[in-house]
Structure 1
Amino acid sequence: MTFNPWGPNEPAATVLAEEAWLQGAMLQNVFYGMVVVLSFQCFSMLLEQTNRTNFKAKAPLLAVVAVIFILDTFHTGFDSKDVQLRFIENRNFPGGPSAFENHTAHDSFGNVSYVILQWLCDALLIWRYVMIYKECVIPRWLIIVPPVVVCLASCAMGVMFIISLSESSPLVASGPDWAIPYFSISLGLNILITTAIVGRLLLIRHRITSVLGSKHGSQYTSIAAMLVESASMYSAFSIFFIVPFAINSSISVIPLQTIGQVQGCATLLIVHRVASGKAWSSNTQTIFTHTSATRHIPRGIQLNRVDPIAFEFESGTATLSRANSASHRINLEHKSSVGTMLEGVTIIKDVHTDADASSFGAESCDRK
């Protein structure tokens, strides 16, 4: 290493740690810019779609976008202030900015914002996981219970992590170190859900392409769709953080400062797909199942007889009744229609309204 007469009189490891802090702060601002753009896009899209009829369905997503933006803003702002304290306001602290970081308490507001943000993003990811597995043959309780239990454990570790940060840095082993258990459980939860979502979408993709061809279902089962739906960006970034963090490497502070913004971006990308109508919904698999079934209909008109229809006349109107369905009233002037309802085809014969209602049962149905 070339000697720099103007460099700090500190060990190379200390200088590397300080460089990592600055690089992490700059990278954090890049991802925060993405959070700002995605937040405004999602909020404007959801706001345009919201009306009186769907307000209850859209309001939770609007709240999620707003809360993610607020929490990420708090987290970024307090982290920026922390960098200012280390490198400007306390630059003469014995040992430099790195020593100041390791021997002073962290700002509690920024840490609380990050932990709450992670809880919210994990909850939304679990919601998407349950939605994608809604039509699965696996028992519903077996789908929901494991991620919920891990999420509750992550919440408990998050509380202990905040308490430990208020006393000392997670990079210093002073008492129980809750940082590694907290991040490990959170990472395990996201890897579990990411793997489950990707596996489910790959299976559905195979079934769709084998029946309908490769051009169908790409909106839901393409590689990009699977990466967004599973929040794999956050899972990959978490691995980049937890490995150097576990071995107490200075490089870990780069993803440590950025991980909250990355998780916010991953969650907002999911909300963006939901708002644009491209995300997997509760009836997506039903649509694909119906479509694949219609592909096997033979040539010609499919005539499947359904429930019988009875007509009742009362003062110029007829009531069309069908078993297990709502009644439909047909306005009549001088004549009414009678016939047999078939799926895809209706065969109707015109008759006069003054005819005896009992004669309709014996009337044959001819094509109009």
Structure 2
Amino acid sequence: MTLLSQLRADLADHAGKSLIRRRRTLDTPCGPHAVVDGRQMLAFCSNDYLGLAAHPTLSAAIAEGAARWGAGAGASHLVSGHYAVHERLEARLAEFTGCERALVFSTGYMVNMGIAAALLGRGDAIFADRLNHASLVDGALLSRAEHHRYAHGDTAALSRLLAGSTARRKLIVTDSVFSMDGDIAPLAELLALAEAHDAWLLVDDAHGFGVLGPQGRGALAAAGLAHWRLLLVGTLGKAAGLSGAFVAGHADVIEWLMQTMRTYIFTTGAPPALAHALLTAIDLIERGDALRATLAAHQQQLRGTLRLVQWQRMPSTTPIQPVKIGDNAAAVAAAAALWDDGLWVPAIRPPTVPPGTARLRISLSAAHTEHDVSRLTNALHRIEATP
């Protein structure tokens, strides 16, 4: 069998397991009401939790940034691609998150791919929640440290692993809000374990930043946690409505990461125009209590009105509201039925989630309306009841 024929066979195997993914093409800006593949749709699949992605103030800010700073950075940050506006953004993010210093990246995947390898190596150990994002898993593998995975949210199991480890250096790694379940990690318990076992604690707050905590400062602020052991990762393409990511923490730790992270050193800096617009995005998040209140009302409405019999709405107090179906093909069929009704809700299957837990992943936004949520719940009731 040739390489190409083997590849075709593997694709056919994926198709037989209902694992083929299809891209949809939008003809309108990001928002709940969109034209997708030529159809008018009501979307519940974006991470634009505060509805900022198409906010006119942000659109004006990025245009203003391009006029002031041009289109690109031209080089890596450590060569000649670091601009005054990058410096201002990092200072603003540090202040906003209550950390001493922050470092900005082009994507969250780049942050998570590089941190573990900068802090650890052979002879060290990583302790990771089994449901962590793929970028955290890949970053752990790149570090060459021992990689221990504990059952989701099981701090007792983590405690046993830490107690039995003889590694020189230890790193506990977790999502704050788990992107496919919508639940929140036991952050206070994790920090207590990090202190007890002299470990770093890396928290990926991709889905908490902008949504949780006072003024949207994130999951750590919501839990009232601050410590030099903490490394906070936040992404800027979800609640912030734009693109990019950052890591924040103790000044000495951030300096070390800047000096050693390959994903920072060996890549072109993000466009300064984007940094200019992100300063406005942070202001909008800080003043966004009304948006967060609307988002919370949508979550409460969905939890209060969705009454499922065969499927299961998974417990979540965040904008991610998954409905577990189980079977891959059944989840795909449910998503297709919703699509036929004009509702865009993605079917999530392995390897994104464990086998047997395929689901519909509902993402709520402050840009949705009460009527939008009612339309979704009515459609879910009708489709679940249809043989």
Larger Rg: 1
Bigger RCO (CA 8 Å, 6+ sep): 2
Structure 1 length normalisation: TM-score? 0.22
State the TM-score, normalizing by the size of structure 2.
0.22
The structure where strand makes up a greater share of residues is 2
